Amino acid sequence: MEQIKKKIGFICDMDGVVYHGNKILDGVREFVNWMIDNEKRFVFLTNSSERTPHELSMKLERMGLQVSADHFYTSAMATAAFLSSQKPGCTAYVIGEAALTKALYDQGIYMNDVNPDYVIVGETRTYSFEKLEKAIELVNNGAKLIGTNPDITGPTEKGVAPATGALIAPIEIATGKKAYFVGKPNPLMLRHGLKKIECHSSEIVFVGDRMDTDIIAGIESNVDTVLVLSGVTKVEDIDNFPYRPKYIADGVGDLIK
């Protein structure tokens, strides 16, 4: 782990790495304080599009951890940046929460339910047949289908809930059009993190708890990876994949021991 401590920057997943639901994980406070005390550059990268960086900062504050909003980057922000680079000033029909809409507005992308350039789907608790029907109509009329992330499920206090991959699947099936997903494991997401902390890929380590999104994203971005076992992945699960993380730890607290 000494090689990890020498890194200039750290990019970390959140759920399963920093917290479970509303409970902060062991060693996280010590790890974050160590990064701050040693002037490390760091950003928390999340596939969730439900919360703004400010809301994520407030969530950690409620858990007793002070991290400013500029240390967070979400799939909503990555999606907005991607669309802005593809077609500046485009319009979109959105199935998602306010954080996704705000990220799009911040990039000059506005809402349109008549003839939008894109249909965008993110996590939401207001999913309805009416919105689904509208999205199918617009995609059939030529709108491009975009998902903030490909996750099928996401963890909740009660177990799991359908995430973007599950919510967008009926639109793909009904239209015969495949969505483009911006969030992890798309290397685009990690490259946004690198740009945010102004580091080269060789200077950072990426910490995550999922082999199928976090670790593969790090490998495809030529970044050293750490799999923490504090989330969804167990040691015996690793051999189910044709690739491996560079390092394995029980939790982020082990990285500074």
Active-site entry in 13, 209, 214, 254: 13
| DSSP line for 155-177 | EETTEEEE-HHHHHHHHHHHH--
Q: What is the pTM of this model?
A: 0.94
Angle at 12 between CA 146 and CA 57, to 5 degrees: 85
Counting as low any pLDDT under 70, the low residues of the chain are: 155-157
Task: Give bridge partners of residue 152 from the DSSP assignment.
Answer: none
**What is d(CA 100, CA 122) in angstroms, rounded to the nearest whole number?**
7
Q: Quick one: 236 exposed, middle or buried, by C-beta within 10 A (0-12, 13-18, 19+)?
A: exposed
**What is d(CA 143, CA 153) in angstroms, rounded to the nearest whole number?**
25
- Residue 1 has what pLDDT? 75
3-state secondary structure of 150: coil
Residues 6+ apart with CB under 8 A from 160: 153, 154
The tens digit of pLDDT for each residue in 41-64 reads 999 999 999 999 999 999 999 999
- Residue 244 has what pLDDT? 96
The answer to whether residue 113 is catalytic is no
Closest-CA residue to 233 (of 16, 4, 13, 1): 16
**What is d(CA 106, CA 149) in angstroms, rounded to the nearest whole number?**
19
The answer to whether residue 37 is catalytic is no
Active-site entry in 15, 151, 209, 224: 15
3-state secondary structure of 44: strand
Local structure of residue 117 (DSSP, 8 states): S
- Whether the Cβ atoms of residue 141 and residue 171 lie closer than 8 Å to each other: no
Q: Quick one: 162 exposed, middle or buried, by C-beta within 10 A (0-12, 13-18, 19+)?
A: middle
Q: Structural domains in the chain?
A: 2-47+184-256 (3.40.50.1000), 87-181 (3.40.50.1000)
- Residue 157 has what pLDDT? 66
